[in-house]
Amino acid sequence: MGAQTLPQELIRAKRDGEALSVEAIRELVGGVSDGSLSDAQVGALAMAIYLNGMNAAETLALTEAIRDSGEVLTWAGLDLPGPVLDKHSTGGVGDLVSLVLGPWIAACGGCVPMVSGRGLGHTGGTLDKLEAIPGYDIAPRRERFRTLVREVGVAIVGQTAELAPADRRLYAIRDVTATVESLPLIVSSILGKKLACGLDALVMDVKTGSGAFMPTPEKSRKLAETIAEVASQAGTSTTAVLTDMSQPLAPCAGNAIEVHQAISLLTGEQSGGRLLEVTRALAVELLQAGRLADSADEAGSRLDRALASGAAAERFARMVTGLGGPADLLERPGAYLPEAPVRRAVFAERPGRVQRMDTRALGLAVVALGGGRRSPSDAIDSAVGLAGVAAIGERVDATRPLAVIHARREDDADRAAAQLLAAIQVGEEGVAAPTLIQDTIRREAP
């Protein structure tokens, strides 16, 4: 860090509750990136931020420094046919929105260079779902990625080593120093990666409820407001939509099972439901933010036509083929997506209506089946998971199970069944499902 201020003095200032300047934050993030800050210093900095927080100017500076710590994608000269748009979710169970939304937006004229992540904890990861597709390359060469964005309109891939490298190191250290749950660190981590993709507009799906990352509705709302404000101040118009995660978004969870669900929606085999409602709402916001529609009604009409005509499904198929997957996946998903050998329906102990559920516990049941990770190095079994999960307010009885477990072994199914029965409460009272789309926060770039 040369003749710059000693990093320990900057860490001391943050430890003592002082606000750091833009220059100081850039120095520190530079040290995270180039290794001149030791792991101990990065951990101390993360803890100082966790304990003392950051003001709005600091959070913006941290986000921009992480964005600028590596390559920032530019699309000039590619003659893209539409605006560069993207979506990010704070995670949950049965949240396969990206698989449907990316090709749906592409079919309406947007370009979606979606850099996605893996699952950790109870939340599923988009990359893990896509890797259930044989041959799908989540790490294509840069030119292949850019060509797909231009020619197909969508490419869903993993983060490259060149994109926001400061975040990769900072997040790994936060994960082992109990500093993950810090608003400025969460916001800068999410946006540092997303804004490095050269976006014209972003929509954020911020979850609230028992399966949400943030522990309370108030904290979920604060996260949504902060993300929208910081991203717009950093130059990207952003809409944050608060959505319910008090039950799985799709009636399923598990990687191959969710890919199958996405294909069913895109091809029209299934229609309606909470997943489609949230995906459509997010897509409506993106089309308006990208100036592809002048109103919500116009955006909705464009989306409905793109789905009904098969245009959205065609974009998904072209993306899969362009990244090495089978050309006939949409026609024959059962020939390619892995299936678990054990299927077991789990019934409630007595008939009634689903009152509430611990959605996080359902996600952890999928992890225990092998469908998620306890640590980043764990292998994933793409075939396992839950299907046909009953919704809040739905009646369950001897013919309608709580869910169907897809497992590798009988004893895995035994454990998952016990977890399901503990996680889902059934009673006689009628109950309405929580409001799915709870608020929308829009911020335009200056």
Alpha-carbon distance values, 3 to 7, 192, 310, 337 (Å): 11, 27, 60, 56
DSSP letters of 308-361? HTTHHHHHHHHHHHHTT--TTTTT-HHHHS---SEEEEE--SS-EEEEEE-HHH
- Is residue 2 packed enough to be buried (19+ CB in 10 Å), middle (13-18) or exposed (0-12)? exposed
Residue of 67, 88, 122, 360 with catalytic role:
88
**87, 168, 207, 353: which is the annotated catalytic residue?**
87
Q: Respond yes or no: is residue 189 known to be catalytic.
A: yes
CA–CA distance from 298 to each of 102, 284, 291 (Å)?
19, 9, 11
User: 67, 194, 274, 280: which one is catalytic?
Assistant: 194
- Which listed residue (122, 174, 315, 443) is catalytic? 174
Is 174 one of the catalytic residues? yes
Q: How many CA atoms lie within 13 A of 428 on its CB side?
A: 0
- Contact call for residues 205 and 249 (beta carbons, < 8 A): no
Q: Is 14 part of the annotated catalytic residue set?
A: no
Active site residue 193: yes
Of the candidates 59, 189, 237, 246, the residue annotated as catalytic is: 189
Per the annotation, the verdict on 88 as an active-site residue is yes
Which one of the listed residues 59, 63, 69, 89 is annotated catalytic? 89
Q: Which residues pair with 91 in a beta bridge?
A: none
| Helix ranges, 156-254 (H) | 165-175, 183-195, 217-233
3-state secondary structure of 19: coil
CB 192 within 8 Å of CB 166: yes
Catalytic option among 26, 193, 360, 443: 193
Catalytic site positions: 86-89, 126, 174, 189, 193-194
